Amino acid sequence: MKPEEIKEKIIKLLSSTERKGIDKVIKYLESSDFFEAPASTRYHGNYKGGLAEHSLNVYEIFKKKNEIYDFGLSDDTVKITALLHDTCKTNFYTVSSRNMKKDGKWIKVPYYAVDDQVPFGHGEKSVILLQQFIRLSKEEVIIIRWHMGGYEPKENYNYISNSWNICKAGVALHTADLESSYILETHFEPGESTKQMSFKA
């Protein structure tokens, strides 16, 4: 799917929710680099549009898991938690360059670097950003806050376990995130693809 098609679909899905303030979320996404940003610096989706692509992939997987396991989540909750779980990555990356030896010669290649101007964490940052525009239910906060699962510092493991016992759908978003990242998406090494170079600094 082309980047513009991904953007159109995400906006359509979010617009279809009945959550008060969702129009402000959409406006925020469009004014940020959400639809151009990578999903990571060197792992999955480290290319222009990778973040939006990842978010849509996670939504498609999470939606099916909600149906299979009958979590009872509303369509609005599925859309909001899956499509917006990585809101923390907006305005988070920048393009830098480094020297790399290729065919016996040193060349400058672009790569993504982190430039976090709002260091609030990861899942908690997404929650904080979103709650400036919309109200999240306790269930939605748990799902988004702990979507990183075991990638959180070990000091948080008890919180994750307790949260997932309260809201089992949180486990499903975490696994949807992993499946999307490691099965559906790819990554490029520095200098390997011009697709990566097209992200504006």
For 16-63, what is each residue's pLDDT tens digit?
Answer: 999 999 999 999 999 999 999 999 988 889 999 999 999 999 999 999
Domain-located, residue 201: no
Q: How far apart are CA 11 and CA 158, in angstroms?
A: 35
Q: What are the backbone dihedrals phi and psi of residue 189, each rounded to the nearest 5 degrees, phi first?
A: -80, 155
Domain-located, residue 87: yes
Residues paired with residue 107 on neighbouring β-strands, in sequence order: 100
Q: Which helix (H) or strand (E) holds 196?
A: helix 194-197
**Could you list the residue range(s) of the whole structural domain that residue 137 is in?**
3-98+109-187
Domain-located, residue 103: no
Domain-located, residue 158: yes
pLDDT score at 195: 54
pLDDT averages per 10-residue partition of the chain, 201 residues? 96 98 98 96 89 98 98 98 98 89 84 92 98 98 98 97 98 98 85 51 38
- The count of structural domains within the chain is 1
Q: Is the distance from CB of 170 to CB of 147 less than 8 angstroms?
A: yes
Q: How far apart are CA 166 and CA 38, in angstroms?
A: 32
Domain-located, residue 195: no
Longest Cα separation, the chain: 58
Q: Which two tokens stand for residue 6?
A: 């991904």
pLDDT score at 190: 65
pLDDT score at 199: 46
